[in-house]
Amino acid sequence: MSASSTPNVPVAVVTGASSGIGRATATALARRGSGVVVTYNRNPDGAHEVVREIADLGGTAVALELDIARPESFSAFRDQVGETLSEHWRTDRLTALVNNAGVGGVPLMFADTTEEQFDAFMQVNLRGPYFLTQALLPLLADGGAIVNVTSNATGAGLTAGYSAYAISKGGMATLTRYLAKELSPRGIRVNAVSPGVTRTRLGGDAFAKHPEMIPAIAEHTALGRIGEPEDVGMMIAALASEEGRWVTAQEIEVSGGYNF
Ligand SMILES: NC(=O)c1ccc[n+]([C@@H]2O[C@H](COP(=O)([O-])OP(=O)(O)OC[C@H]3O[C@@H](n4cnc5c(N)ncnc54)[C@H](OP(=O)(O)O)[C@@H]3O)[C@@H](O)[C@H]2O)c1
């Protein structure tokens, strides 16, 4: 297959698909007929559950380990993805990349943030996806799509205690627009999905530990509840697929109307 041809089978890489929004994205893509490479870092069991869930839907998914904080491993990861594409889907091209893996955390005020804490957010939420995208670009088919998962903490969800996290996500929003510009000659669309508060394991499983936080957030949400991973995964999958074919360079908030 030539570098510019589009494979017959759509296949996406979803980073951080062992739980939460990534997991819901992987299953939503599989429901649309896409093969999925799901990555995990510390939770292989979660990733293997997603692979089984997708097999039960009649689809194909493969789980690969990836630590997004280690760019030195990305060229080996790219080779692994290439081998996986050929073995499972008989193609050498990806149609979509979803940069979803990320870390949140408990509130951390600006005055208290250490260089190490700042760097940890940047490494996982910004530097990692920047260089992973660069590493996977040769595998991405012309006409393909990239979706970056940002956060409404940069806008409608701005709350004291999240400056370092929000800066890392703001960087991804800016990268989205640059990539949309630079990759448009290849017909590659690049968008961001900016979730509002969503019930996942982010921040050390904060919602399971502190369910009392939920009603106050729901009260500030136009649609009257907090988000579920599937609410967000569906939008990411749509942007990564044919439904999104005329959308590029956008950051779409998926929050049920937070502070609206
Ligand atoms: N939940 C929300 O309210 C919310 C709001 C706005 C934005 N977001 C964004 O949504 C994305 C998904 O988070 P989530 O809410 O679904 O949380 P989650 O359930 O905690 O999922 C996070 C995923 O990222 C992976 N990950 C974390 N560190 C990694 C690393 N160093 N290398 C590779 N993968 C790593 C985790 O893998 P392992 O578990 O296998 O280690 C997991 O699959 C994040 O980018 C987050 O910032 C979430």
Active-site position among 40, 130, 165, 258: 165
Q: How far apart are CA 216 and CA 182, in angstroms?
A: 41
Rounded to 5 degrees, φ, ψ at 77 are: -65, -40
Q: Which residues pair with 258 in a beta bridge?
A: 221
How high is the pLDDT of residue 207? 82
Other CB atoms within 10 A of residue 173 CB: 16
**Residue 85 confidence (pLDDT) above 70:** yes
Q: What letter represents residue 135's amino acid?
A: A
Structure confidence at residue 7 as a pLDDT band (50, 70, 90) = low
Mean pLDDT of 87-99: 98
Tokens of 66: 């990836």
Q: Is the pLDDT score of 255 beyond 80? A: yes
The alpha-helical segments, DSSP class H, found in the chain are 20-31, 44-56, 74-89, 115-122, 128-136, 163-183, 202-209, 214-219, 229-239
Give the model's pLDDT for residue 161. 97
For 107-150, the pLDDT digits (tens) are: 999 999 999 999 999 999 999 999 999 999 999 999 999 999 99
Q: What pLDDT band is residue 44 in, cutting at 50, 70 and 90?
A: very high
Tokens representing 98? 């979803």
For domain 11-254, give the fold.
Rossmann fold (3.40.50)
Which atom of ligand 1 is closest in space to residue 18's alpha carbon? 43
Token pair for 122: 């940047």
Whole-number pLDDT of residue 3: 41
Q: Does the pLDDT value for residue 239 go beyond 50? A: yes
In angstroms, rounded to a whole number, what is the distance separating the alpha carbons of residues 138 and 4?
10
Strands 11-14 and 35-40: parallel
- Stated as kind and residue range, the H or E segment containing 71 is none
Atom of ligand 1 nearest to the CA of 123: 31
C-alpha atoms less than 13 angstroms from C-alpha of 143 in its C-beta half-sphere: 11
Q: How far is the CA of 103 from the centre of ligand 1 (A)?
A: 5
Please answer whether residues 12 and 240 qualify as being in contact, where contact means their C-beta atoms are separated by less than 8 angstroms: yes
CA 65 / ligand 1 centre spacing (Å): 14
Active site residue 258: no
- Whether residue 41 is predicted with pLDDT greater than 90 in this model: the reply is yes
Which pLDDT score, from 0 to 100, does residue 252 have?
A: 98
> Ligand 1, atom 39: nearest CA belongs to which residue?
43
Query: Which long-range contacts link 44-52 to residues 24+ away (Cβ below 8 Å)?
Result: 44/18, 45/18, 46/18, 46/19, 47/17, 47/18, 50/17, 50/18, 50/23, 50/26
- Average pLDDT of 233-248? 98
Residue pLDDT, tens place only, 164-221: 999 999 999 999 999 999 999 999 999 999 999 999 988 778 888 888 989 999 999 9
pLDDT higher than threshold 90 for residue 232:
yes
Pocket probe for ligand 1: among 25, 103, 131, 175, the residue whose CB has the most ligand atoms within 8 Å is 103
The structural domains of the chain, with segments of one domain joined by +, span 11-254
Between CA 26 and CA 34 the distance in angstroms is 9
Q: Mean pLDDT of all residues in the chain?
A: 95
Q: Judge residue 67's burial from the number of C-beta atoms within 10 Å of its C-beta, 0-12 exposed, 13-18 middle, 19 or more buried.
A: middle
Percent of the residues in the chain that have a pLDDT greater than 70, as a whole number:
97
Answer whether residue 243 shows pLDDT above 80.
yes
| Residues within 6 Å of ligand 1 by CB | 15-22, 40-43, 66-69, 100-104, 124, 149, 151, 195, 197-198, 200-202
Could you give the CA distance from residue 23 to residue 234 in angstroms, rounded to a whole number? 11
Q: What is the per-residue pLDDT for 202? A: 86
Residue 231 has pLDDT above 80, yes or no: yes
Helix, strand, coil % over all residues of the chain, rounded to 5: 50, 20, 30
